Chains A and B, each alone.
Chain A
């Protein structure tokens, strides 16, 4: 028993698992319509877009050196607009448009990575700048000359485009089963089982040591920013397909929620520390929380606040338990 408690306190992933189970139990008992197959599968779709951004944030923060990507929300927006405009206004084949959108996302992430690695400007500043530049580009792309100088959403997609965001397989949303879960598994292999993963943790926890042991620090960092661009792009594609509209105002404010979830998941803001399991649980906890609160009819104004309370509360509780055990 003592050992289990120790595990819970010392291991962030375990701690989050317990938190998840408690939250789940509370909602299952007290909230009507929560504990049904329909709701439990249906709610997963709302974790995907923010979840992909949180995973992107995890990779970037892990790489250390003050790593952070404030532009994930803007990359989501711009990719959504690229895909939307190419399909809806240019009339391009959807597959090709999606391919171009995802490539653009990678390109923008790559650019962030190069600026961070080779100019030595702080990631916070680089990605804060790209947050605004990419957002502005998204607005420019959204301008429809037929309606003057104003950005307009695009919503004339072929029915096939909605497959990713709106279809179900055995009740489970397609994007969860065929994109989100595979992405999590791939990232798990990348972080826990591959050489690159070891390099990444190495670079994040001790840059100098990594450098002396012959790791190409710059290349590792460029890679994670590029992956961050790709994950944001995937998120932009999925959200466009789900809401059937490409909008230049979608994704605003997502970057901070994504960072919050990554940190809640146990990723140390100093880099080099944190497990993908924790971040996935963080995503699950937030998705659960939003769903449970909405079903319980709790006023919307409490929802964003609850994210902050859960973050501070869980860290505080973790620390208190740790301190008590050491006494």
Chain B
């Protein structure tokens, strides 16, 4: 009896050790989002998991429950202790993340940012969802198409100092030169607040009776302006577009107030993050300007050497034909 027990014990031990050894052989790739439990990052997690399955790596998804800078750093530090092979992070504070990423790099860990950049002088790669100029151009093109290339339009942005929003607006205006029959009448700001965006848009409808179109520059102002158009009974007369998430925009796409809007695919972004980590861990190097064939995602990512940046692809346009597939974020 006793012998049997000892034997069983040993078998279990050997199996366990084997298991551990096998698990060890896989790359451990971690992604730390700004916070966990929101649809956008859930979508990135899903992509990361899919990539981990396809590429046979271990994917660790962990982050703070609120966008807490100190907790995010602590979590990364513990990933360093765990001895992961690669850490990708969407930093809450691009400066505060630097010391801990530096430490990770000193321990020989591959260090990346994804979705949001930070610690530029330390990180090995930034997986970027889309280029600033392409986002601006695409939004303008979508608006022009919806307005039939003529008429007055307005922009409702959010924080007046939000750096990325202002850059996108600059590129939209650059693109406007291609549409001589269109005219920008005003840019207004509505903070990150749907209700405020509704109010701002209702004012605009009164102030500019010839308004034909509007851009909602961020995820809250885009559904806000669409809602205002419907409340004012101007659907069909004024079209809205902008940058937002499918779950907030679906209602207005279905009713026709929004013909299309722009974002990127966060699932593919998560997938690409894990794929790129594996690619670099395998000892490969990215080549400047080259477009990569990544099975499992719908775009061809391109590498830009001077920024050490891998761009997912052109921004994605959502409209009535595809929105139902993306309702989860």
Residues of A in contact with B (beta carbons under 8 Å apart): 32-33, 36, 38-39, 42, 46, 49, 147-148, 150, 153, 155, 162, 166, 239, 242-245, 247, 249-250, 252, 290-291, 294-295, 297, 299-301, 303-304
Decide if A297 touches B62 in the complex (CB within 8 Å).
yes
Docked Cα-Cα span, A249 to B99, in Å, equals 19
Beyond A247-B93, A291-B78, A297-B82, 18 additional contacts (C-beta under 8 Å) are A32-B82, A33-B81, A39-B81, A42-B77, A46-B77, A49-B70, A153-B95, A155-B93, A166-B99, A243-B70, A243-B96, A247-B69, A290-B74, A295-B78, A297-B62, A300-B36, A300-B63, A300-B64
Decide if B82 touches A295 in the complex (CB within 8 Å).
yes
Q: Which of B36, B74, B161 contacts A301 (CB 8 A)?
A: B36
Please name all residues of chain B whose beta carbon is closer than 8 Å to the beta carbon of A239 when the two chains form the complex: 70
Closest chain-A Cβ to B19's Cβ sits at a distance in Å of 13
Q: Which of A42, A247, A290, A294 contacts B96 (CB 8 A)?
A: A247
Closest chain-A Cβ to B213's Cβ sits at a distance in Å of 27
Please name all residues of chain A whose beta carbon is closer than 8 Å to the beta carbon of B74 when the two chains form the complex: 46, 290, 294
Q: Which of A244, A290, A303 contacts B98 (CB 8 A)?
A: A244
Docked Cα-Cα span, A291 to B79, in Å, equals 11
Query: Which residue of chain A has its CB nearest to the CB of B160?
Result: A148
**Pairs across A and B, CB under 8 Å, 8 listed:** A33-B81, A148-B160, A155-B95, A243-B70, A295-B81, A301-B37, A301-B65, A303-B65
Q: Residues 60-84 of chain B: 1 if any A CB is under 8 Å from the residue's CB, otherwise 0?
A: 1011110011100111011001110
Please name all residues of chain A whose beta carbon is closer than 8 Å to the beta carbon of B63 when the two chains form the complex: 300
Decide if B159 touches A249 in the complex (CB within 8 Å).
no
Decide if B69 touches A249 in the complex (CB within 8 Å).
yes
Please name all residues of chain B whose beta carbon is closer than 8 Å to the beta carbon of A38 when the two chains form the complex: 81
Task: Tell me whether A148 and B161 are in contact in the complex, defined as CB-CB below 8 angstroms, given that A153-B93, A243-B69, A250-B69 are known contacts.
Answer: yes
Closest chain-A Cβ to B4's Cβ sits at a distance in Å of 25
Query: Which residue of chain A has its CB nearest to the CB of B107?
Result: A38
Closest chain-B Cβ to A264's Cβ sits at a distance in Å of 20
Decide if B159 touches A304 in the complex (CB within 8 Å).
no
Decide if A244 touches B95 in the complex (CB within 8 Å).
yes
Q: Which of B36, B78, B95, B160 contacts A245 (CB 8 A)?
A: B95
Q: Residues 83-96 of chain B: 1 if any A CB is under 8 Å from the residue's CB, otherwise 0?
A: 10000000001011
Please name all residues of chain B whose beta carbon is closer than 8 Å to the beta carbon of A147 when the two chains form the complex: 161
Decide if B93 touches A245 in the complex (CB within 8 Å).
yes
Please name all residues of chain B whose beta carbon is closer than 8 Å to the beta carbon of A242 when the two chains form the complex: 70, 73, 99
Which 10 A-B pairs rank lowest in CB-CB distance, beginning with the nearest? A155-B95, A245-B96, A294-B78, A243-B96, A147-B161, A148-B161, A39-B81, A245-B95, A245-B93, A33-B81
Decide if A155 touches B81 in the complex (CB within 8 Å).
no
Task: Tell me whether A244 and B69 are in contact in the complex, defined as CB-CB below 8 angstroms, given that A150-B159, A295-B81 are known contacts.
Answer: no
Interface centre among B65, B68, B96, B159 (most CB of A within 10 A): B96
Decide if B70 touches A250 in the complex (CB within 8 Å).
yes
Please name all residues of chain B whose beta carbon is closer than 8 Å to the beta carbon of A148 when the two chains form the complex: 160-161
- Which chain B residues numbered 31 to 82 have a C-beta less than 8 Å away from chain A? 36-37, 60, 62-65, 68-70, 73-75, 77-78, 81-82
